[in-house]
Amino acid sequence: MLDEPSENRERVGLAHDAYDRHRRYEEDDEDFEIEKDKTQSLSSEDEVYKSMGRTIFEYARVILIGVLVAVLLLAFVVVNAQVPTSSMVSTIPVGSRLFGNRVIYYFSDPERGDIVIFRTPNPADEGELYVKRVIGLPGETVRISAGEIYITTVDGEEFHLVEDYLYEEPNQADLANNQTVVLADNEYYTLGDNRNHSNDSRSWGPVTRDRIIAKVFFRYYPGFRIYGDDD
């Protein structure tokens, strides 16, 4: 049988061992909690990055779709044009920005009075977009006498074209306002509404059908205006 001091020492030793084990358990628990916190922190950061990635992807997708839609619209539905001169005053002010309807001419041909956007045959601006009014149609004869327009149709009937849209009376003495043109089967005669200050078919001839792109239907600068058959 152990004496009292030995028993005490043994009890103290066991108590120390138990204490050490308890501390180790506590340290292990603390390490576990630290690792757990680190894991949770990394997981939260991952979620933030994933959320940011998803947001960026959505914005990029919306922008890409918007660009594609705009490209398709400009290529097949509308055309954007600017009128830098006074040739169409007062119907279209100087510096106007316009939209033209491409679709309408997929299914029909330009009509007399249409304000059209076309690629000019003018050698000085070959291929540039011009905006003028259709005066003569394919197969017709356009006679200009002292600024007045006379049309002979394909049926042989002649009539005087009333032009309420003119900005001012054409200069009767101008040689450009005294000529006769016979249009081919695919040609259109186009003139500006500001007849005395317009570079048009009187100077560089008719416009072929394949050059006519769209019919003007909307002005978005300066101000807003919708153009119809009465303009």
132 is catalytic: yes
**pTM assigned to the model:** 0.75
- List 87, 96, 198, 201, catalytic entry: 87
With vertex at residue 185, the alpha carbon angle to CA 180 and CA 187, rounded to the nearest 5 degrees, is 60
Catalytic residue of the set 43, 86, 96, 132: 132
The DSSP-derived string for 108-149 is S---TT-EEEEE---GGGTT-EEEEEEEE-TT-EEEEETTEE
pLDDT digits (tens, 9 = 90+) for 117-149: 999 999 999 889 999 999 999 999 999 999 999
Position 52 confidence tier, pLDDT thresholds 50, 70, 90: confident
What's the pLDDT at 107? Answer: 96
86 is catalytic: no
In this predicted structure, what is the pLDDT of residue 198?
96
